[in-house]
Structure 1
């Protein structure tokens, strides 16, 4: 009885009149046994609650927390998101929908990308750093969910968490050097191998071995990814805690101490600015872009512009995919995406990135000077502040630099390599289109490379399955609602945080992510197609983001997201470019109206609706 909540569907074997308090809370009632005049049916009718009885085996079939539609008139119970647990123990965890990375149904190979990527990397990281909490990622009906599982009894958890945190902070102190000298060179070697991949002249067994090698490199990249983020997130949290404890300042000001130091992101913005200015100085190209000319036509009109685009794509072409779903294309595969970004920037002059960065570093230096003044007569505290600040300035930028070098580049290179194998399977008569490889699981591709056979019927089944999954209503949580370890217990909370709202008609609350106050019209951006409607001075309202959204960030008056904490991708990128931001508002896309005027207070974490 204690776990019943208002609006739940009461599922039970049978009931009596003593269960009336639950009936008045329930949205519907379902029982295993009974008839039209059984206790459950009569009590349900008495309180006007839809009810279906005598379903037989419902308690062993349904999963606690899964969404249902109960039609008491038709006598049907429809499972809106049926879940099959590979391990029954997983049903005892609370699984949260991962809206930070995938907001739609993913393909089988994309699910494998997560299974052997981020899920594998988190497990190896937790083993190495001794976390008392195991982070999990899994796909149900094509939708991604995350969960955390306690590995220690509650009375031991705090002590083990302190030990694990100390290991993360120690890692942070050496991480910058290891990134520059070890991890980044290794990643570049993996990506070079992927780009050079060719299956010409390889037999089936050799091609299958190359497939396995590709995924071995993928696993290694994600093991690096999770070690890097473990240290980077830890030292940024440490900076915030230290600043608030010693200085009494805000978390937003603490994070501002490191803004402008993500050199790769700054370089991306500088190069995009330079490319746009090149177009601005060429009326012929600028006019052609405004009317939607194709990339080939632009190159034919001005070969120097074609060379400039090629140079940009060599440097940054593996960015540009708007989402994290495996198979989406980057700028290098579809330069039209880059041209669209330039077209938007041509509408209004863009601030020089170096001027912007100089201002950000000036404010950071000012905040640091104020802190030093406040601690001048407390030498031990000052020394502690200086040590943490130095570590954060060195390693903290990797909270988002990693997204460029790992998420975006690995995503692009793995996708390109997968299509190479897809082309091979088309040649062997296994598939009709290379994109169909994303509808297969890893083992199925390996088997098809070794022993080719027509998989047309399987592909048709998978296409039908994908369509069926897209019709399902994915709930925010599944599993045991009482099994959660708290909103900030797991290592992924920075990415998945959501603030509970109390008065969304007037204002939304979220995590204060990037200091400052700005006003502008709300521009709701849900996907790549929505990029085109964005204008300079708009408030970017989105689910979440990644570094490929930089062209929008640098044109935005402010940023508001539904998902994420102060170290999420959107928060870090907003700070890096000095854009006020509030993240983790939960309901921004479903509550705000496109074009309505907003005031975003990134210091207080408030989004005010000015017409409310």
Structure 2
């Protein structure tokens, strides 16, 4: 006779907003879309300028979607400073089939040329944008110069986000196809076996992680640095680092890290 007991689970209750809860749509048609809060990228309320930046990010997705003839666009709206996104068809139904046929061919071509385009096209362009931002001294810029910088930043961000999605979309499709093939050949190896075969290759994330680990070991090996970093006030922590030779050395190393990896 089993002595196992089960714990009763509370019944899920849907909390309905009050009738007067203010949700306003600039376009009444938006009310018919399926909106999801983007909690992964922006779990907290966003200031208006942050909202404008995130809108640019999703515009970048839509540009990449058009480049690969994908069937969907993403729309973004803000309610009470939270970001919500919804998928919508990228074209009218009459053109959807032709777009789908184009998509397969374009995605195949993109997957076949990922390495060459990264080395010869995308990485140099990304580095040129980063160099442009690094060259601007925001601390000494006038207000008109800052406004001009903001507008140029918005233009460059749109391109950067387009590049982001032009890169990751075919990358994920390639990984998915590899997983499908692996499962067909080795179905008994487990759900994640195919992805373990893709581990261990040198990449910027691993490089940044190793450099960050080296920074942490340098901090742990210098008592005055470790003590300064435990201060919950970042302004005071930086000031404390500047009072010792070891602290100044660590600041220089941290600045060098941030210059390379952000």
Query: Shorter-chain TM-score: which interval?
Result: 0.7 to 0.9
2:4 alignment counterpart: none
CA distance in 2, matches of 1:207, 1:102: 25
CA contact (8 A) 2:215 2:253 kept: no
1:106 aligns with 2:49: no
Structure with more of its chain in helix, by fraction: 2
Map 1:413-432 to 2 at 5 A. none
2:240 alignment counterpart: 297
Q: CA deviation at 1:171?
A: 0.9
Q: CA deviation at 1:109?
A: 0.7
1:127 alignment counterpart: 66
CA distance in 2, matches of 1:281, 1:315: 18
1:85 alignment counterpart: 25
CA contact (8 A) 1:132 1:152 kept: no
TM-score, normalised with respect to structure 1: 0.36
CA distance in 1, matches of 2:133, 2:231: 36
How many residue pairs were aligned? 245
Root-mean-square deviation over aligned CA pairs: 3.2
* Corresponding residue SS for 2:113: helix
* Corresponding residue SS for 1:294: helix
Gaps of 5+ in 1: 1-5, 9-26, 28-66, 70-76, 320-408, 410-612
1:197 alignment counterpart: 136
TM-score, normalised with respect to structure 2: 0.78
CA contact (8 A) 2:211 2:257 kept: no
CA contact (8 A) 2:74 2:85 kept: yes
CA distance in 2, matches of 1:209, 1:226: 26
* Corresponding residue SS for 1:144: strand
Judged with a 3 Å threshold, the aligned counterparts in structure 2 of structure 1 residues 138 and 260 are, in CA distance, closer, same or farther, namely farther
2:149 alignment counterpart: 210
1:143 aligns with 2:82: yes
1:167 alignment counterpart: 106
Map 1:321-336 to 2 at 5 A. none
Judged with a 3 Å threshold, the aligned counterparts in structure 2 of structure 1 residues 236 and 317 are, in CA distance, closer, same or farther, namely same
Aligned pair partner of 1:311 in 246, 253, 262: 253
Q: What are the superposed Cα offsets for residues 196-236 of structure 1, whole Å, 9 maximum, x if unpaired? A: 324757684x6544332221111111111111111221111
Identify the range of structure 1 (138-147 vs 290-299) with the bigger mean alpha-carbon deviation: 290-299
Judged with a 3 Å threshold, the aligned counterparts in structure 2 of structure 1 residues 166 and 311 are, in CA distance, closer, same or farther, namely farther
Q: What are the superposed Cα offsets for residues 350-400 of structure 1, whole Å, 9 maximum, x if unpaired? A: xxxxxxxxxxxxxxxxxxxxxxxxxxxxxxxxxxxxxxxxxxxxxxxxxxx
1:503 alignment counterpart: none
2:176 alignment counterpart: 237
CA contact (8 A) 1:136 1:147 kept: yes
Map 1:582-601 to 2 at 5 A. none
* Corresponding residue SS for 2:200: coil
CA contact (8 A) 2:58 2:75 kept: yes
Structure with more of its chain in strand, by fraction: 1
Judged with a 3 Å threshold, the aligned counterparts in structure 2 of structure 1 residues 138 and 108 are, in CA distance, closer, same or farther, namely same
Judged with a 3 Å threshold, the aligned counterparts in structure 2 of structure 1 residues 98 and 281 are, in CA distance, closer, same or farther, namely closer
Q: CA deviation at 1:291?
A: 6.9
